Structure 1
């Protein structure tokens, strides 16, 4: 499975960088050693057979840009684990998550120094699993999936080098996906905020009405296709990739042409700011200025608007996302992986499971400074999620997300930055009227498939 469509991934380049390594797993020698990702490891870390042994000794745990705001929480979890398992010590590293994060993680993995327990996103999980750097939990911890919702556990699988899909990560927290909109602007355009669109093309129809009514004073959403690819295509049930994930197929579906033609029509009609076609500006900021009818889909964005643009926040409506055929997805899932190169895999696995258990996930989700949703069934059964109070936009968003969380999956497509850029560049040409939709898609698919071939 290739997964995650939402922006904000911290290590998108990993998929390209690591596939070049061509590493995998191999059996052990008589001396009790084996290899994982080209690194010498203990035989117990690879192959069949559950991990067993005493939970003791030192491990390293890495998160990404969490220490500043959640130091007390993580220090508490670490202290509780060390108390429960005397003789253990967890060293917490918090990577800043800056522009060089990917290069550092690649260097760690290829240098056989990946942290014992590491917080990773979808793109990183894909690359590390393929190259043998994460424990195969189906073999090393067969009961690992019990705490998690069935849908989340089932969908959180990634392919090893031979294409076999395995559970190599423990689901952790995720954001939500909702539809947000400026109710005043919708009314001004003759739209009913109580009847938001339920499909992608329905959203396009409403956007066209906004363009006609706004006269350039405000817009439906930003033009850059990178904000909508491949999310819209998945929602429209477009087959983005072949079954084995080795070839792009989106240009072969007439619905994709329909989507590009719709984006082109909206851009020409003025439903999007002309200067936003290739801009990297943040939609949250533009929405906060009262210039966009539709806002970002992450509920956390609502807190940003509440704090920085309270007037716009009061006008903001929230509704279920336009999921079409995609169904409910969790939105930017975060995982905990255990390095197959760990010299203390038993303790690392024990800590990973402790960190992601229902009690600890719920405790963090209740922190008023964070907007996250847990992955365990017991956490979601708590009244905190089952009896959400309030009628303001933020409370409404939490209600919507919490209502589908038990059936939400992680079935989302991931594109490497190179693939995304290649596709977006062609669609931008179509939106400018420089290419037909089909020609743009054919070229985009050819360029993206070439990148897959180069990555091996």
Structure 2
């Protein structure tokens, strides 16, 4: 009897311990980049939904901001990596090249290709393998807002649909109104901006590891912009100020007829000059011959060293699913990258809105399938961008010909091995 009672007691203890073990919560550390505190309600709301559906998983949300990339590298060396990390195109490539990331294609399986737009997946594909689940993205151009009063004053009857048509449009606006028609991004602080101009027109940047922009076609395109700059058809401050900031300033003052960007470009205008906002209308931004809608994108990655890779992948997929991406795009005008987001009824509805911000939001959200990173990730971007930008500036200032500037930049690139 005593033996039987002891056996039963041990069985009950074992059962209790097994049940407790089964219910023990797995904790995931989720690092984001510059999302807190502005988007805390959204992020924490998605996490709460996930935890309700997965009661054995707890997610710790940590926003690392400017220190994220370095802290991630340090965490690997210390053996205390987060489980899900918000990276971007360049940082995803660097982490993948260093062997730090889970192959998402192998982890998710063939169905991965159906979950996100192909272009977005390609942004995080390195060596034929997908290392990041596409999250939210943004266009460099996206939409073009225009001051209809200035457009009418300039006698413009048809808005430009291509970047090639923008040159003639800008000349007409400047001649007839004194205002600028266009403030293209030619040299911005983030570096290598004019490379995006080349890609937009279908001109290559690299062939293998060699610079491919030292050609007569590239030089002719660069010279087109140089001519506009020297004739004061485009603002002289474009070599000194970030184009998006300058565009907002000039457009708000009624000194620029168009502003190219996302809906966020219109928020400050609405606050600072209601009359110009009221005169503003929105259309899709002119597109280059390369038919590329350039932009940037964010990913969610799972480090190889995660202690809970299965649960981490489950959460990363949940955070980036279509419903949650669309919900985020309703809060802030980002571009959803989950396949089918463009068909959401909300975006269909606001595309026909008379309000410029609403209309622009609907237009860019519906165009996510066409978004792709313009400049491929580079091995040494800081030095390569500087060499390129220094030569581009020299060409604009007349210190070098367009062809010589590109030849010198290409030589510098090819020596950076």
TM-score normalised per structure 1: 0.76
Say yes or no: does 1:375 pair with 2:340: no
CA pair 59-277 structure 1, distance change in 2 beyond 3 A: same
Counterparts of 1:177-192 in structure 2, within 5 Å, are 177-192=142-157
Partner of 2:310: 346
Contact 1:221–1:293 (8 Å) recurs in 2: no
Partner of 1:296: 260
Equivalent residue for 1:322, pick from 265, 283, 286: 286
The count of corresponding residues between Structure 1 and Structure 2 is: 385
Measure the CA separation in 2 of the matches of 1:109 and 1:383.
Answer: 43
Partner of 2:89: 122
What secondary structure does 1:198 align onto?
Answer: coil
CA shift digits 1:221-248 (9 cap, x unpaired) = 1674338522221121101111x3x222
Counterparts of 1:10-49 in structure 2, within 5 Å, are none
Deviates more, 1:348-357 or 1:328-337: 328-337
What secondary structure does 2:58 align onto?
Answer: strand
1:109 is displaced (CA, Å) by 4.8
Partner of 1:393: 356
What secondary structure does 1:175 align onto?
Answer: strand
Segments of structure 1 that go 5 or more residues without pairing to the other structure are 1-52
Equivalent residue for 1:155, pick from 122, 130, 137: 122
1:166 is displaced (CA, Å) by 0.9
Question: Is the radius of gyration larger for structure 1 or structure 2?
Answer: 2
Partner of 2:10: none
CA pair 396-120 structure 1, distance change in 2 beyond 3 A: same
CA pair 308-126 structure 1, distance change in 2 beyond 3 A: farther
CA pair 101-337 structure 1, distance change in 2 beyond 3 A: closer
What secondary structure does 1:145 align onto?
Answer: helix
CA pair 378-234 structure 1, distance change in 2 beyond 3 A: closer
What secondary structure does 2:38 align onto?
Answer: helix
CA RMSD of aligned residues (A): 2.8
More helix by share: 2
Measure the CA separation in 2 of the matches of 1:55 and 1:362.
Answer: 33
Counterparts of 1:376-455 in structure 2, within 5 Å, are 376-388=338-350, 389-405=352-368, 407-414=369-376, 416-451=381-416, 453=417
Partner of 1:268: 230
Segments of structure 2 that go 5 or more residues without pairing to the other structure are 1-21
Contact 1:136–1:166 (8 Å) recurs in 2: yes
1:119 is displaced (CA, Å) by 1.2
CA shift digits 1:355-378 (9 cap, x unpaired) = 1122222322233xx112322234
Contact 1:207–1:271 (8 Å) recurs in 2: yes
Measure the CA separation in 2 of the matches of 1:322 and 1:157.
Answer: 26
Measure the CA separation in 1 of the matches of 2:63 and 2:258.
Answer: 34
What secondary structure does 1:92 align onto?
Answer: strand
Measure the CA separation in 1 of the matches of 2:143 and 2:24.
Answer: 41
Measure the CA separation in 2 of the matches of 1:418 and 1:430.
Answer: 19
CA shift digits 1:77-116 (9 cap, x unpaired) = 212222222232211111233xx55444444455554421
Measure the CA separation in 1 of the matches of 2:153 and 2:36.
Answer: 44
